[in-house]
Structure 1
Amino acid sequence: MRTLLLLCALAVVALAEHHGDHHDDHDDDCDCSGGKRAGLRSHILNARINKLSHAIDDVNGKIDKTIEKAMKHVRKIKGLDSAVDKLAGNGCHKGEFQCGDDQCISDLMVCDGAKECENGADESEFTCKERVPAGTVLTGNIKVGHAECTRRKPTKFEVFINSARKVNYFSSRMRLGGYINLHFHDGDSDTVDRLDFHGYYNFANRLLAIEPPEDDGLGITCQFWPHTYDHCHAHIVHEASLEPCADFVLYKD
C-alpha cells in the first residue's frame, strides 16, 4: 500500500513537471549565455527535487498516521476481547489452562517443555514469553482511601524486579526477586519505604504474584490480560484468604 501511494505521488509530481517543461523550452529560445543557461537549468532541477521530496514526505506522514490509527483500533479490539473472555470465563476450572479450544490442562503442565495441548498452545512462544524479566519496573498510583487495609496507606507503588529464573522442576512458574518502593504520607511529609520481596510469575494465567514482604500477611497479585502486557491489574490481597483489599493498575516503565 505504501509503495502504491508513493507511485501515485510521483505520477502527480511528474505530470506537474511536464507542464513546467513547456516553460523551460521557451527559456531555451532566449538569447542566454551558456553559463547562465546551465545555472537556470540547475536551479529548476533543484526546485523539482525539493518539490518531489516534500511530496514523498507528505505521503509518508499520512501513511504513518493511518497505520498508527489502525493499530490503536486493533489494540482496543483485543482489549475488549480480553474483557469479554474474563467475564464469560474460558470453560476451564481454577488451576487449569485453556488450550484455545475445548481442551483444558493443569496449569502446572504449561511451559514445562512437553506439549500437552493438542494444538501446542501450552508451549507456544506467546504463552511462555518472559513478560516480567529481570530489569522490569512497574509503577502505579493508588487513590487516597483505597488502601485502608495496609499499615502505611500508600499512594504510589514502584515494583523493581531484579532477578527472574525458571526452576527445572517447577518450570510453569518463574521465580522472581526484587523490591517495592512504597510512597505514603507520614504526617506533613512524603516518605518512601523499601521492601524486599520474593514472588513468581504464572505462565498459564499471566499472573504476577508477590509474597507478603512483611508480617502483616498482605501480598500483591497483578493480572496481565492477553495482548495488554504493558500493564497489569493489581490487588493487595490477604495471604490467608486471598481476599483483595485494594486494587490499582501497574504500568511498565
Structure 2
Amino acid sequence: QTTTTSGQTTFSTTPVCSLVVPRIRDHIHRRTGRMWSTATIIIHLLLFVASAIAVHPFYKAAAGVGENAAPRENDTPAEARRLIANAAAIGLLEARLETLRGKLGKAAQVDLERNYRETESRLSRLEEPLCEKNQFECGYRSAECIYELFVCDGYKDCSNGYDEDETVCSIEPALAGITYTGTSHWTSCETRKDHQTNITILGYRIRKYSPSLIWLKALIESSYQAGGQEVQVTHTAIGHYKFATRQMVLLGEGPGSSSGAYCNFDKKDNKRAKCELVKISSLDHCATMLITLDESNDHLTILSDDLACTGSCADSLRHFSPPWKIL
C-alpha cells in the first residue's frame, strides 16, 4: 500500500507463488537442517552419558556389568545397587540410540523435492493464469505465451526455448506398456462404492502433422461390488496426451463408450495424476480418481530407450503394443 502526495492510496500486487514458494522451500531446508542437527546433538549427549557411566568409580568392568551383570560377593549393598542401576541405564541408552537410528533412516527417505513440486503446483493453481486458454506459458510467470500446438513441434517458439525443453516434451506419461492404478470415488452418475481402477497404455503414436499430441490407446479395468456381487468391467479407450497442458484425455469404447476421463499431471511429475471421470454426452462430473504409476510393470525396462526421443526426434517415433489404428 502506497500513499501519494495528493492523499490517494494505491496498491501494488505481487504473484502469490513468487512470495510463498521461496519461503516454503527455505522453511523445508531450515526444518530439515534443524532436524539433523538436533538428532546429532542428542546422539552425542547419549554417547557422553554412556561414557561417563562407563568410567564411574562404581562401574566394575571386572564384575561383568551388562544385561547379565550381578553384584560380586564382596560388594557392599550400595555398590550392588549402583551396578544394577548402571546396567539398566546403559540398556535404556542403547534402546534410545536404536530408536534414533530408525528415525534418522526414515528422515533420509523423505522426498523433499516432490513435496516442493506439489506445493508449487497447488499454489500455481490458485493464481490466475497469465496466458489465455489454448496458450502455453514460456516458463513460470514469464508472461510470454505461444499457441499450445506449437509446443514440442521441433521448433523453439519461446524466446528461451522452453517449449522444446526435455521436461516439457517428455513422453514418459504415455509410454506403451505402463499401468496407472488408483481408487475411483463416485459422486454422481452411478452409485458405486470406492473401487480400484487400472489404466494401461496399449500403444501410442506421434504423427508428423500433430507433434504436440501423443495419440493413445488404453485398456481400462475396474471391479466393484453391486448387489452383493463383484462386477468386473474391462474396455478399451482412445485419446491423446497434450504436452502443453500435461493432460491425458481418454474416451471409452464398447461397454465404456458413454464415459471419458481427463487426467492432469502436475508439473515435472510423470508418475501421478488426478483424473476426472465424466459422462461424454453431457460432460457431467461422475467420479474422481488419483492415479499412480505402477513401477513394478516389467514393460518399463523394455521401453526405456524411448525416453531420450523428444522434440523433432518424435516425428519418427513409432511404437505399437499391440498394433492399432487411429482415425
Maintained 8 Å contact 1:154/1:182: no
Matched residue, 1:206: 246
Higher-strand-fraction structure: 1
Q: 5 Å matches for 1:68-147? A: 68-69=109-110, 72-100=111-139, 101-130=142-171, 131-143=173-185, 146-147=186-187
SS of match in other structure, 2:174: coil
Maintained 8 Å contact 2:214/2:240: yes
Q: Percent identity?
A: 29
Maintained 8 Å contact 1:220/1:234: yes
Structure 2 distance, partners of 1:199, 1:132, is 11
Maintained 8 Å contact 1:212/1:239: no
Structure 2 distance, partners of 1:103, 1:89, is 15
Q: TM-score, normalised by structure 1?
A: 0.67
Q: Which amino acid aligns with 2:211?
A: S
Q: TM-score, normalised by structure 2?
A: 0.53
Matched residue, 1:155: 195
Q: Which amino acid aligns with 1:175?
A: W
Unmatched segments (≥5 aa) in structure 2: 1-101, 295-327
Matched residue, 2:209: 169
Q: Shift of the alpha carbon at 1:132?
A: 2.0
Give CA deviations for 1:84-113 in whole Å, capped at 9, x if unaligned.
Answer: 111213311111111111111111111111
Structure 2 distance, partners of 1:163, 1:215, is 18
Maintained 8 Å contact 1:79/1:227: no
Maintained 8 Å contact 1:147/1:154: no
Maintained 8 Å contact 2:235/2:256: no
Q: Shift of the alpha carbon at 1:152?
A: 7.0
Maintained 8 Å contact 2:235/2:252: no
1:230 equivalent to 2:271? Answer: yes
Maintained 8 Å contact 1:154/1:183: no
Q: Shift of the alpha carbon at 1:165?
A: 1.4
Q: Which amino acid aligns with 1:77?
A: Y
Q: Calculate the aligned-residue CA RMSD, in Å.
A: 2.6
Structure 2 distance, partners of 1:158, 1:200, is 17
Q: 5 Å matches for 1:21-100? A: 68-69=109-110, 72-100=111-139
Q: Shift of the alpha carbon at 1:62?
A: 10
